[in-house]
Amino acid sequence: MEIKKISDNIYEMPKSGKMNVPAKIFVSENMIKNIKGDKALQQIKNVAMMPGILKASMVMPDAHQGYGFPIGGVAAFDIEKGVISPGGVGYDINCSVRLLRTNLTLKDIKNKKEIIHSLFRSIPSGVGRGDKLILNKQELNGVLKEGAQWAVKKGYGVKEDYLHTEEEGKLNGANPDNVSERAKKRGLPQLGSLGAGNHFLEIQVVDEIYDEKIAREFGLEKGQITIMIHCGSRGLGHQVASDYIRLMEMEYKWPEQDRELVNAPINSKLGKEYFSAMACAANFAFANKQLITHWIREDLKHYFPKLKAEVVYDVCHNIAKFEKHTIDGKEKQVLIMRKGATRSFGEGREEIPKAYRKVGQPVIIPGSMGTASYVLVGTKKAEEISFSSTCHGAGRVESRTSAKKQRTGEEVKKDLSKKGIEVESGSMRGLSEEAPEAYKDIDEVIKVVDEVGIGKKVARLKPIAVMKG
């Protein structure tokens, strides 16, 4: 596959063969070998062959092989001619990140080991774990329709929480009738739980400010304690993806280039039903993080009676959305699929909370366990060159199977302890799979994003305690 460097940190795979558009790759020269090490390049080429795709098939600097789309893949589709694909969203629908700012500083955290252990006991985590909040089917339907807003109405948080969430914590178009009984059954016991894999809860300290003005707008300052929550729609979202992959395979032919990109026309009955079910799963994920936020506050008030823990922002990954973008000089509504990618709107967009509209959308990029995470701000440049998209994390360079062979969970925990990071986990195997060495260098990923201009650095956050499933 021919790849041309078109500018610093931007490469292009020219349109050829059955590609409808070229592929655009945001990556540094040092990182290009990683993206060539798996099937990510072939996958963005495959995406470029999909009907109705606009401008380019894109991939962010945290790219690696995924299901259908690569992780880090972004594509926009014409609503009349385009398609929607579960492989362009992913199995963990709205796997996403919420950041809380607190009124605590590092010197307030006297015993981080005790605190992270207490949070571990308060918030269910691990494969299949849940059952802290038991819902009936009627209540679950309310969650699927109203997302984080349902949780706040039930007393689990305050209005400002969802006002500082993407889509105000509620994706429109969600009809629970389009979610299977099996998906609902899987979701019923899991609301308010962290899950496993790369999901985490992390206590951090703001250790660097790059833009004082915007940091103030986001309520961040050096030395402040923050809390990051990374989780998604649990078994419900996974089942929605499985259900609609099967339905689309029954209704339509597999794409010649890759059966994992099975799809339906956006305006078809099945396409609309998938979007509705996906919106339900996204709303489950929003409510999930809202409940975890509530339980964090409840737990930490035992240690800090005057605690304030406010939502900075909550961003989506693994999502399809209808957005307005400028195509060939004209504004039009398109369907954007972001698979392991983050929205990065610049200032002025009405989708941004009023509190941030004059500076741009907060963009929250977690690192790997044991490395820094970053807060960025969205840009007008991103609107011009990447459909207002940027990376979603560090991105794996080593499979979970390989990571387990390289180091044990006990070794990972010991190494993190040497760095002053306390870890609480229900699975030593999970720790070995998520070792920092299994991920790309987050600093270089962010450097690419910042230099290209699809997000600008605001603050760096360093972990002091991590909870894993």
Which pLDDT belongs to residue 259? 96
Q: Which amino acid is located at 44 in the chain?
A: I
Which pLDDT belongs to residue 370? 84
Torsion of CA 367, 447, 69, 7, to 10 degrees: -170
* C-alpha–C-alpha distance, residues 267 and 454, integer Å: 30
Which pLDDT belongs to residue 400? 72
The series of mean pLDDT values per 10 residues for the chain, 469 residues long, is: 93 97 95 84 97 98 94 97 98 96 96 95 71 85 98 97 98 98 95 86 97 98 97 96 98 94 98 98 97 96 97 97 94 97 97 97 92 97 97 82 81 89 85 80 94 98 92
Which pLDDT belongs to residue 30? 86
pLDDT in tens, 79-135: 999 999 999 999 999 999 999 999 999 999 999 999 999 999 999 876 655 557 888
- Answer yes or no: are the C-beta atoms of 153 and 146 closer than 8 Å: yes
Which pLDDT belongs to residue 130? 52
* C-alpha–C-alpha distance, residues 254 and 260, integer Å: 8
pTM over 0.85: yes
Which pLDDT belongs to residue 433? 82
Beta strand 23-26 with 10-13 is antiparallel
Which pLDDT belongs to residue 185? 95
- Answer yes or no: are the C-beta atoms of 363 and 344 closer than 8 Å: yes
CATH homologous superfamily of 4-81+92-397+439-468 = tRNA-splicing ligase RtcB (3.90.1860.10)
Active-site positions read 392
